[in-house]
Structure 1
Amino acid sequence: MNSLVIFAQIAGAVALLLFGIGLVRDGATEAFGVRMRMALGLGTRTGPRAFLSGLVATLGLQSSTATALMTANFVDRSMMNERMAQIVLLGANVGTALTAVVVSAGLEAAAPALILLGYVLWRRGATVWSGSGRALIGLGLMLVSLTMLEHGTEFLRSSPQLAAFLPMLDSAWPVALLFAALLAVLCSSSLAAVLLISSLNLPVGLTVVMVLGANLGGAVPAVLATTTLGHSARRVTLGNLAVRAMGCLAVMPLAGFAGQALTQFPMPRTGLAVEAHLAFNIALALLIWPLTGPIARLVCTFLPDEEREHSQGPAWLDETALQTPLLALTGARREVMAIGDAVDQMLTLTRKAFHDSDTAPLAQVDELERRVDRRQQEVKTYLSRLGSSATEDEKRQSITILDYVINLEHVGDIIDRGLAPEVRKKVGLGLRFSDEGYQEIDRMFLMTQDNMRMAQSVFLSRDRDMARRLVELKVEIRKLERQSAQRHLIRLREGQANTRETSSLHLDILRDLKRINAHVISVAHPILDEEGLLVESRLRQR
């Protein structure tokens, strides 16, 4: 019975730790998710910026897995190259280790204050305050869980059974490494595994080995989560797993020596496991950074790009389903999702052409635009023939689908007839934007791509909270466009040559991206209108 009570205490502490990590991640994503994604996308033009963006994103999200998934998605959408992605993940690994240091720094007494402050902010209701409050509550719960872990493992540390078992595990380091890796996979967090290892009284060498295992297992959830993405995204997470595996194999024979060296190193004592976690990831980053290019190419040879087949016609518009409105609407919705993916690809290719000053990707934009036009017309024709047995609710659904597909067609037109010619003009005339102007436009591109992905999710799930966040982003887009135009005019007055040459192009691209966002975000309007959350006019009431 005593053993069951101890097991329940430890399991409950681990569960609270995982819950706290999840709260921090969700809260940070709610409050600063768009800004973090933008910072991650913009922060990969140089190696140091890529490393720093991965580190900062992981400190905010409390999860290198979340950063790895964001990075893999950027690579999948051709918004980041694979070498820079590997550097981002090196920064993410160091970010996780720094999080462990902060959480283990003896701040348990601050937990009640953090939870109280988090609750006050959460009650304020606004997205940024609410998300920040949830993150603070999660951090407070993580500190509480560490106290629970310390009390729960106190009996184990003095247990004669554990004292007899540890020499056996200490003499089988490969088994210990795999056991710790499995623990990290089950927790979906190397941070949780390292903190649990830190709470046990283990021999020095065994502690280092189990930290290595936690690092290895921490890379596995991201690999599993990207199995449905393209090969380029999967190469990013597989490369990170390979890097960690090589590091573990190199350090494991020296684990005893490394552990003794760390105990003698003059630094604030946060526990050998936490210190080994930080030292391993810093050393790995320093050694692997110069080799990220060859590693990316090596992984590419084992997992080459797949041949993508593009459907020439509708894939989900089943003629026999027209007499069953529910089935017909489901097919039409899936077809519109495919059209949205094509429009998203057009936007990605246009940004790539702008970024690389290369018009080659724009040829595919022309082809995709013709496909989008044809398929959206087929959806409209299909829904116009919906069976007479359709209910009023099903008719409203068909109108919502039509509204979204028409907006997607408008977005395709803006890309093909607005953005693509503007990029061709930039390349053809050899125009160069100022550094500030380029970053402002690239930021608008990234936010537009993020909003496109969120609009697809809102269309499919009809989630009210996500729809509300999408509409709130429209205000940010409007502010970003206005601020960029104002900064551009200031640079003009200062007489910057690059700004003068690209003036009309800069403002035209900003205008077109703003128009795209307006069409994309409109998918949220019917959902919020049904809930009575929209107003008729933006005019302030007298």
Structure 2
Amino acid sequence: MDWQDLIFKFVGGLGIFLFGLKYMSEGLQKTAGDKLRSLLAKYTTNPLLGVLVGVIVTILIQSSSGTTVLAVGLVNAGLMTLRQSIGVIMGANIGTTMTAFIIAGVKIQNYALPIIAVGVFLIFFLKKKLYNYIGQVIFGFGMLFYGLKTMGSGVKPLKDLEVFKDFIINLDNPILGVVVGTIFTVVVQSSSATIGILQTIATEDLINIKQALPVLFGDNIGTTITAIIASIGASVAAKRAAAAHVIFNIIGATLFIIFLYPVTQLIIWLGDYTGASVSMQIAYGHGFFNITNTLVQLPFVAFLAYLVTKIVPGEMKQLEFEAKYLDERLLSNPSVGLGQAQHEIIRMGELARESLQEASEYFFNKNDKAKNMVEQTEELINELDKKTTEYLVKIQQNELSEKESGKASILLQTINDIERIGDHSENIMELADLSILKKAEFSDEACTELKKMIELTDKTIQQSIESLENDDKELAEQVLDNEAELDKMEKQFRKAHIKRLNQNLCSGTSGTVFLDILSNLERMGDHSKNIAQYVIFGE
């Protein structure tokens, strides 16, 4: 037996399969744009609807891990509740069975290379982005099946190997099968890949359906590793969503192992009745497992949410991802509507200030929760920016007095300044990431200077928002004074740090991060000044 050929083909084929799956999934997500995220966030008001949305999104992107990570991300951002995410995760498990049915039912392996060629043509020879994304999907689809074909040709000789035969015989132990499936899926981080491999070796008569089913159940447990990884450093709610994914699949695997004999007989009968191959029987088993598991556990979503709350303790600092003050019924009364819009803008300003505080906490103390709050707050600010702007545009469609028209214009400009302040906080968070990655060290003097400038920037933002809220021109004048002081600080601290760089008292990376943070803080001061000038001059 040519071991080198076997290993190269199996490992290479697995690599091609995983690359194709990932590339296809990314192409599908790019083609759909933000619609998938919006679909998950908006149409999951109850667990049953969440299941349906989870199924649809997973079929579209061909990755239950991708859907689960999206759900964890939305919970982390406060856009989805824990109960909603559990429904989506259940649906994702059902949706991923489509890949197994495609692999078993459609003999595409022989046409993998021309499919890849079509994908390459769309990617490299057409300029329109949409065609490039579609090409990415087609290319990934072809690579997926070419990888399976390569693996299949590699594992064929194993059927004559005594050691492999003995190992397969031992897989008659269902517990061992579950363990093998779990470990393999944890390693490759894709249940679609491991089930595809399972179908490939079954096609080569290396494993039967009785041995394959426990491995398949283990695959479903192993796929939860992606959600666990995605929840690291995330909010308590996101960790609970990942825990719910793990518990859901462990309970399902346990139940199916207990009832393994009748389940196996049902799958065999269904296979015989439809004249299905072993590969298709594995697809039947995968579909039956996930659909039945969801139907059994769906009525207990509330209990599952309660259980993970006890397993993953901690307080959840969640933001309300909705506008508090924008009432469509007040659009017909422009004066009142403008007042409501201003309340929402004041809220945006307070969030922008909190974002700076959290970014500073992350920079100085490497607190991952603070980083999460910056990301969450930035997303909320962007959402409020969009909704408040739309609200003000609707108000302007009415007949406004000169004063009302001027105020609407000022509020629209203020929204932009506040959104930019939030962007600069996110920039500081990203600079903190860079300093951690590059292990940049900062002198006590540099830290003191940054803290001093951050403190004044925070005060300046606060005063600009308060001056807007109370139409306080005197306070707005203080903002202008603070902004001038921030400009002086930026120049002074920049010179001092360049001097430290020249004396080799700090590294090039720390110097770059320090100077970029100064620039971001100075720009925050500029936007605060803009808001103050709207108050003072009304323009």
Same fold (TM over 0.5): yes
Q: Report SS of the residue matched to 1:385.
A: helix
The reply to whether residue 218 of structure 1 matches residue 223 of structure 2 is: yes
Letter in 2 for 1:81: T
> How far, CA to CA, are the matches of 2:305 and 2:184 in structure 1?
28
- Residue 17 of structure 1 deviates from its aligned partner by 0.7
Paired residue type of 2:41: G
- Measured after TM superposition, the shift of residue 53 of structure 1 is 2.0
Deviates more, 1:118-127 or 1:210-219: 118-127
Counterpart mapping for 1:260-279 below 5 A: 260-265=265-270, 266-267=273-274, 268-269=276-277, 270-279=279-288
Code of the aligned partner of 1:78: G
User: Which residue is 1:423 aligned to?
Assistant: none
Q: Displacement of 1:271 after TM fit?
A: 3.0
Cα deviation for residue 313 of structure 1 reads 8.6
Go from structure 1 to structure 2 and tell me whether the alpha carbon gap of 1:300 and 1:314 turns closer, same or farther (over 3 Å shift). Answer: closer
TM-score by length of 2: 0.62
Aligned length: 388
TM-superposed CA distance for 1:254, in Å, is 2.8
Give the equivalent residue in structure 2 for 1:55: 55
Tell me the CA shift for residue 147 of structure 1.
Answer: 1.4
Inter-CA distance 315–48: structure 2 relative to 1 (3 Å threshold): closer
Corresponding position of 1:422: none
- Cα–Cα, structure 1 residues 233 and 316, in superposed 2: closer, same or farther, change >3 Å? closer
Q: TM-score w.r.t. structure 1 length?
A: 0.62
Conservation of the 8 A alpha-carbon contact between 1:204 and 1:260: no
**Which residue number corresponds to residue 147 of structure 2?**
145
1:46-92: CA deviation from partner (whole Å, max 9, x where unpaired): 44432222122222332211211111111122211111111111111
| Distance of aligned partners of 1:408 and 1:127 in 2 relative to their CA distance in 1, 3 Å threshold | farther
Question: Which of residues 284, 293, 298 is equivalent to 1:289?
Answer: 298
Shift of 1:340: 5.0
Query: Which residue type is aligned with residue 50 of structure 2?
Result: A
1:411, 1:58 → 2: CA distance? 45
Percent identity between matched residues is 18
Q: Does residue 401 of structure 1 match 2:401?
A: no
Paired with 1:107 and 1:410, the residues of 2 have a C-alpha distance of 63
Name which one, 1 or 2, has greater alpha-carbon Rg.
2
Q: 1:315 to 1:277 in 2, by over 3 A?
A: closer
The Cα shift of 1:29 comes to 2.8
Does structure 1 residue 298 correspond to structure 2 residue 299? no
Q: State the 1:24 CA deviation.
A: 1.1
Structure 1: tracts of 5 or more residues without a match = 319-329, 355-364, 418-542
* Deviation for aligned residue 1:138: 0.7
Q: Deviations for 1:113-168, whole angstroms, at most 9, x for unmatched residues?
A: 42222222212243322222112101101111121222222111343332233222
Shift of 1:409: 6.3
Distance 1:276 1:412 in 2: 62
Secondary structure of residue in 2 paired with 1:294:
helix
Give the structure 2 partner of residue 424 of structure 1.
none
1:388 aligned residue (495, 510, 530): 495
How many angstroms apart in 2 are the aligned matches of 1:275 and 1:144?
Answer: 23
Task: Decide whether the 8 Å contact of 1:30 with 1:127 is kept in 2.
Answer: no
Tell me which residue corresponds to 2:133: 131
Q: State how far apart, in whole Å, the 2-side matches of 1:83 and 1:40 are.
A: 13
- Which shifted more, 124-133 or 176-185? 124-133
The residue identity in structure 2 corresponding to 1:117 is V
Q: Report deviation, 1:20.
A: 0.7
What are the ranges of 5 or more consecutive residues in structure 2 without an aligned counterpart? Answer: 319-352, 389-417, 426-454, 462-481, 499-510
Could you tell me whether the CA contact under 8 Å between 1:208 and 1:256 is conserved in 2?
no
| Distance in 1 separating the partners of 2:493 and 2:128 | 42
Counterpart residue identity of residue 297, structure 1: Y
- 2:376 matches 1:374: no
Would you say 1:94 and 2:132 are equivalent positions? no
Cα distance, 1:176 vs. partner?
A: 2.1
Q: How far apart, in 2, do the equivalents of 1:79 and 1:411 lie?
A: 31
Following TM superposition, by how much is the alpha carbon of 1:403 offset from its aligned partner in structure 2, in angstroms? 7.5
**d(CA) in 1 for partners of 2:355, 2:100:** 51
CA 280–90 in structure 1, closer or farther in 2 if over 3 Å, else same: same
Q: Does structure 2 conserve the Cα–Cα contact (< 8 Å) formed by 1:114 and 1:136? A: yes
Q: Is the 8 A contact 1:343 1:412 kept in 2?
A: no
Render the CA deviation track for 1:266-299: whole Å, top value 9, x for unaligned.
4454433222111101111111111112111111
Aligned pair partner of 1:239 in 244, 248, 252? 244
| 1:347–1:4 Cα change, 3 Å | same
**Distance in 2, Cα, partners of 1:39 & 1:130:** 23
User: Which whole-Å CA distance do the structure 2 matches of 1:407 and 1:338 have between them?
Assistant: 26
Aligned to 1:470: none
Q: Distance in 2 between matches of 1:163 and 1:85?
A: 42
Counterpart of 2:2 in structure 1 is 2
Which stretch shows the higher mean deviation, 394-403 or 181-190? 394-403
* Pairs within 5 Å for 1:150-229: 150-170=152-172, 172-200=173-201, 201-229=206-234
Instruction: Specify the code of the residue in structure 2 equivalent to 1:83.
Output: R
Partner residue, 2:259:
254
Contact residue 50 and residue 84 of structure 2 kept, 8 A: yes
Contact 2:119/2:135, CA 8 A, preserved across alignment: yes
Match in the other structure for 1:122:
123
Superposed, 1:31-46 pairs within 5 Å as 31-46=31-46
For residue 378 of structure 2, the aligned residue among 339, 344, 351 is 344
- Distance in 2, matches of 1:35 and 1:408, equals 32
Distance 1:256 1:148, change over 3 A: farther
> What's the C-alpha RMSD, in Å, of the aligned pairs?
4.2
Query: Any conservation in 2 of the 1:122–1:134 contact (CA below 8 Å)?
Result: yes
Partner SS for 1:6: helix
- Provide, for residues 230-268 of structure 1, a one-character-per-residue CA deviation record: whole Å limited to 9, x for no partner: 110111111011010011111113324322321221445
1:58 and 1:409 map into 2 onto residues whose CA distance is 44
Q: Which residue does 1:323 correspond to in 2?
A: none
Confirm or deny: 8 A CA contact 2:118 2:138 kept in the other structure: yes
Check whether the contact 1:115–1:137 (CA below 8 A) recurs between aligned residues: yes
Q: Is the 8 A contact 2:49 2:87 kept in 1?
A: no
- Specify whether residues 82 and 350 from structure 1 end up closer, same or farther in structure 2 by C-alpha distance, changes over 3 A only: farther
CA contact (8 A) 1:181 1:217 kept: yes
